[in-house]
Amino acid sequence: MAAYLQHWRKRNGLTQVEAATLLGVSQPYLSLLENGARPLTAALRIRMKTGRPADVEGWSDDRLRARLSALRYPGFAHVPPARSRYSPDALLLSALGRPDVDARVVEALPWLVRQYASRMDLDWLVRQAKLQDLQNRLGFLLQLSRVETPEVLAAVHVLERARLLREATFCWDSMPAATQEWMRTNRSPLAEHWNVLTRAKAEDLDDAAC
């Protein structure tokens, strides 16, 4: 169980302090759990399954930019990188899970898929997206990236079957009503299919950042 807890924390790109905050325990107690000195209770296992890394304060726009810099995203080459490299899939999920994300971070997400899709645990990513009602955002992003490996296509297929009818933004929930109406009229067929309000289009991706 201790190894399982460590794997969960690292998969989600969390420090011990961030993981402890998410689980509702102190950092010293989390350390004891990871060392096997304390039992991992059923309540904590449930919290691990339902907790959202995106809710942890550490996933601020500044931290997201630093973590993208650590993953060598060209658009943030000027940003001091995070000290540790975080898993691309955990970073992606954390960005998609936030209601409002800096537009420059959102623009980096297709690049993240194109660069690291082969290293992502897509089964885990899809499961987490469905648990957090993020399947529309993730499905749109995967197709927006134009990565068509068998693994990505399979992930899109699963997300398609779980597609929500509820409309969502692409990480801009504070979008003004007038802008929402404009987006609804001018979004791409892909965005309309995934019920996402965004102006992002595959043909507009910055290939220079690939």
Phi, psi torsion values for 15, nearest 5 degrees: -75, 170
Residue 56 has pLDDT above 60, yes or no: no
Q: Which two structure tokens, joined as six digits, stand for 82?
A: 């995070």
CA 84 to chain centre: 17
Where in 52-197 does DSSP place strands (E)? 168-169, 196-197
DSSP 70: H
Output the pTM of the full model. 0.75
DSSP secondary structure string for all residues of 121-134: -HHHHHHHHHHTT-
The residue count for the chain: 210
pLDDT-derived band of residue 57, with 50, 70 and 90 as boundaries?
Answer: very low
Helix (H, G, I), strand (E, B) or coil at 100: strand
Residue, of 46 and 143, whose pLDDT is higher: 143
Write out pLDDT tens, residues 170-198: 999 999 999 999 999 999 999 999 999 99
Could you report the per-residue pLDDT of 58-105, keeping only the tens digit for each? 568 898 999 999 999 999 999 999 876 677 888 898 899 889 999 999
Give the phi and the psi of residue 100 in degrees, each rounded to 5: -135, 125
Residues 6+ apart with CB under 8 A from 192: none
210 pLDDT above the threshold of 80 = no
Distance (Å, rounded) from C-alpha 190 to C-alpha 194?
A: 6
Structure tokens at 153: 């296509």
Query: In this structure, which amino acid lies at residue 41?
Result: T
Determine the 3-state secondary structure of 145 from DSSP.
coil
| pLDDT-derived band at 54, boundaries 50, 70, 90 | very low
Token pair listed for 181: 């109406």
- Return the bridge partners of 169, or none: 197
Which CATH number is correct for 2-51, 2.40.30.170, 1.10.287.130, 3.40.50.300, 1.10.260.40?
A: 1.10.260.40
How far apart (Å, rounded) are the C-alpha atoms in residues 141 and 94?
Answer: 14
| Portions of the chain given CATH number 1.10.260.40 | 2-51
